[in-house]
Amino acid sequence: MKPTALIADDEPLLREALRGMLARAWPELMVVAEARNGREAVELFEQHEPDVCFLDVHMPGLSGVEAARAIGRRAALVFVTAYDQYAVQAFDQGALDYLVKPVEMERLADTVSRLQTRLQTPTAAEPQAEEATQQLLERLAAQLGRGSSYLQWIRASVGQMLKLIPVDEVIYLRSDEKYTLVAWREGEALIRTPLKELIEQLDPDQFVQVHRSVVVNLRAVAHVTRGVNETADIHLKGRDEVLPVSRSYLHLFKQM
C-alpha cells in the first residue's frame, strides 16, 4: 500500500510547490488531501487518515501546532515554518521534524528519508514518548504565542515566481499610490499590500516610520543628518539611497 500525506498551508502556491517537490523526492507518496487552515487539516485528517501530515505552523483559525495536538501520534508530523527561531529550537529537540520556508529540495530529501524509515519500522506509541511529544507541543505553542506575532516573511510576485523575502533582510519600504516598494538585501520588489497594513505587522523595535511613505529597518541605518525646516536624512549602510525624515518623525532621532 502506498504511503499517503496531507498538506496544510493557507497559501495555495506554497501547497502546490510542496506537492510538486514531494512528487520528485518521493514518487510513491500519495497526497490525499490539502487543507487551507488548521481546522480543515484536522477534518481532512479524520476523513483520510494519512500517514504523514505537513502542517504550516501559522494558519488562520487553528494553527499547525493546535492541529498537531488534535492529530497526536496517529501520523508522522512535519511542521513547515517561515523561519521561527523559537520553533526551530524546539523542533531540534527531536520527536518532530520541520521544514523551513522556502523549502529546499536537499532538506526535503532528508525529511523524506526519515519518514520512510519511520513508516517502514513503526513503533508502538509508548506513554513516555506520547508525554514527551505533548510537552514539546505545549512548549512550542507557548513560544510561538510569545515571540512570533510579527511578520516574518513578505510574499512578492516577481514575474511568474513567488518570492519569499525575509523581513529581517528588508532595508526599507516605500509606498506610492498603488504599490509598496520592498528594498531588501538582494534586490527590490513591488507588492500591493499598503504600507499602513504592513506597519501594523512589523516589530516596532526594528522598523520605524520616518515619513508618511517610508518605513526603515533601524539595523540598516548608517547615520542621520539634519536637514532644513526640522527634517533629516537617513543614510543607509552600504547603499546610496537617502531616505527622508519628515518633521512629524524627527523626534525619533532627537538624541542626535
Report pLDDT digits (tens) over 48-57. 999 999 998 8
For the segment 213-251, what is each residue's pLDDT rounded down to a tens digit?
Answer: 999 999 999 999 988 888 899 999 999 999 999 988 888
User: What share of the chain in percent tops pLDDT 70?
Assistant: 81
* Residue 116 amino acid letter: Q
Q: Convert the pLDDT of each residue in 103-112 to its tens digit.
A: 889 989 999 9
What is d(CA 2, CA 51) in angstroms, rounded to the nearest whole number?
A: 10
Report d(CA 14, CA 115) in Å as an integer.
Answer: 21
pLDDT in tens, 194-206: 898 888 788 888 8
The mean pLDDT of the chain is 83
User: Alpha carbon 10 to chain centroid distance?
Assistant: 11
- Quick check: pTM over 0.75? no
Report the C-alpha gap between 94 and 213 in whole angstroms: 45
pLDDT at 126: 56
Where would I find the H helices in the chain?
12-25, 38-48, 64-71, 85-91, 105-120, 127-147, 195-199
Say yes or no: 48 and 139 in one domain.
yes
Count of the separate structural domains present in the chain: 2
> Three-class SS of residue 179?
coil
Q: Examine the fold and report which residue of 100, 130, 147 is the final residue of a domain before the chain moves on.
A: 147
Q: What are phi and psi of 165, to 5 degrees?
A: -100, 120
- The residue range of the domain holding 112 is 4-147
Distances (CA, A) of 128 to 79, 86, 105, 118: 22, 24, 33, 18
Sorted by sequence, the CB contacts under 8 Å of residue 60 that are 6+ apart come out as: 10, 37, 38
Q: Do 238 and 174 share a domain, yes or no?
A: yes
Considering 147, 169, 193, which residue would you say is the last residue of a domain? Answer: 147
C-alpha cell at 235: 543614510
85 and 186 both lie in a single domain: no
What phi and psi values does residue 57 have, to the nearest 5 degrees? -65, -45
> What CATH number is given to the structural domain containing 239?
2.40.50.1020
**Domain shared by 120 and 15, yes or no:** yes
Per the CB < 8 A criterion, the answer to whether 188 and 170 are in contact is: no
> How do residues 150-172 score in pLDDT, each as one tens digit?
777 787 877 767 777 888 889 99
109 and 10 co-located in one domain: yes
| Closest C-alpha to 93, from 150, 161, 57, 140 | 140
**Where does a domain end: 147, 162, 183?**
147
Residues 131, 165, single domain; the answer is: no
- What amino acid is encoded at 57 in this protein? V
The enclosing domain of 96 has a CATH number of 3.40.50.2300
Identity at 192, one-letter amino acid code = R
Beta-bridge partners for 157: 162
Owner of C-alpha cell 513503526: 122
